[in-house]
A = this chain, B = another copy of it.
Amino acid sequence: MKKYLYPEKEQWEVLTTRPTQSYADIEETVKAIFKEVQKNGDTAIAKYTSFFDGVIIEKTEVTTKEIEEAINFVSADLKEAIALAKSNIEKFHAAQQTGKVEVKTTVGVYCWQEKRAIQKVGLYIPGGSAPLFSTVLMLAIPATLAGCNEIILCTPPNKNGTVDPAILYTANLCGITKIYKAGGIQAIAAMTFGTQSIEKVYKIFGPGNQFVTVAKQIATQYNVAIDMPAGPSELLVFADTSAVPAFVAADLLSQAEHGSDSQVVLVTTSKAVLKSVESEIKNQLNELPRKEIAQKAMENSKLILVNNIQEAIAFINDYAPEHFIVCSKKETFFVENIRNAGSVFIGNYTPESAGDYASGTNHILPTNGYAKNYSGVNLDSFMKSMTFQKISEKGIQNIGKAIEIMAEAEGLQAHKNAVTLRLKSLKNGN
């Protein structure tokens, strides 16, 4: 842990900088695999699944039998927990539905905005050490609520060619029936171009390692949209003397166990809090099973002492954390003034884990400072807003002259003419 006592504002740029990743090498690999998948489809998928995941898959699509087996395999306790989480996530995302926005801007000019679902979406669930069935909930629930017509899910198979039962169980529970054993770059390429067995989609969602991240960025060059650029997970906690140091330490460590590149930051106005959180971290670290990962992440963590809450919030907005926990007597000040954060957790009994799993909010959030310009995944991520307008004869007479003048001033005569013809026709009583 690195301590910074009353850093000068000149230091902020360094303190808010995340470790840069070299994408240049990866980019070439990604482009090559994209080309191969575009050309050879399923054959290329099988090749790279064998290469990266170390297993030969004969049928990419998960069978009904596999799903049924998964349903039997998952414990009753876990099913109950998932049901609670699903219910809360559904409530929160359903409430995000917005109605038609209708405005009569001028007499006879009716404009409205409506949101309609993106028809084909692809959900990516990473493999690796932790089977992220919670991410299935976070993507499948809003996709279904939005009304997307085709929802497919790709996730890498493990060494024996299967998918974690909890992932299959959760996907099935959310109504996702098209599940494919494909991961990494080749899965993103498959959803971008389509293969014999995997459908092309319009938008790709989900977290992933740096290969998946670069693959998603390359996908955008082929008319596919993505949820957001992803990076290693982050947590920033602001704590004053009202915070429980053991809780703060536990939250910081929960973030650190995600990976050795996780970003963990404490900002405080109290030297005593800084010290006690530091010592709590040391105590708790020893008892974690994923101690090595967490310890490595904690080496890069920052404990920052600042002069006052104004300085604190200015720094936090500059950092733009993915997750922001505030345990402070002045929590209202922070809630009102936070501008850049993915998700905000307020008070001693609101651990980040709650939002990761079961409170109802989404856990796919902007990292790496992207909270300055990106939303976390929400219902609107699965929709697009379209505008409509209907103008009456009276309406075009009301705004027609303005259009003619503006089109003429922009040198667009045919734009003007489209109005002039109509106005003339109305004048002539046609």
Contact = CB atoms under 8 A, between A and B. Distances in A.
Interface of A: 23, 77-78, 80-82, 84-85, 87-88, 91-92, 95-96, 98, 101-103, 105-106, 109, 111, 113, 116-119, 129-134, 166, 202-203, 217, 220-221, 223-225, 229, 244, 246-247, 250-251, 253-254, 256-258, 284, 287-290, 294, 335, 338-362, 366, 368-376, 378, 380, 384-393, 395-396, 399, 401-403, 405-407, 409-419, 421-422, 425
A215 B97 CA distance: 34
Given A202-B373, A284-B417, A354-B396, A133 B410 contact: yes
A303 B217 CA distance: 36
Contact of A399 (B247, B358, B370, B389): B358
Contacts of A395: 349
Interface of A is mostly: mixed
A163 to B, nearest CB: 14
Nearest to A317: B119
Contacts of A393: 349
Contact of A415 (B78, B257, B338, B348): B257
A346 B254 contact: no
Contact of A106 (B88, B385, B416): B88
Contact of A421 (B92, B250, B358, B410): B250
| Assembly stoichiometry (copies) | 2
B119 A339 contact: yes
27 contacts: A80-B405, A88-B106, A88-B109, A103-B360, A109-B359, A117-B339, A119-B339, A220-B229, A223-B372, A225-B374, A244-B425, A246-B421, A254-B414, A257-B413, A290-B413, A343-B386, A343-B389, A346-B390, A347-B391, A349-B422, A351-B403, A353-B407, A356-B415, A358-B399, A366-B384, A376-B386, A380-B385
Contacts of A78: 405-406, 409
B396 A385 contact: no
> Top 7 nearest A-B pairs by Cβ distance?
A105-B360, A81-B402, A88-B105, A225-B373, A81-B405, A351-B418, A202-B373
A187 to B, nearest CB: 18
B417 A359 contact: no
A12 to B, nearest CB: 15
Nearest to A365: B387
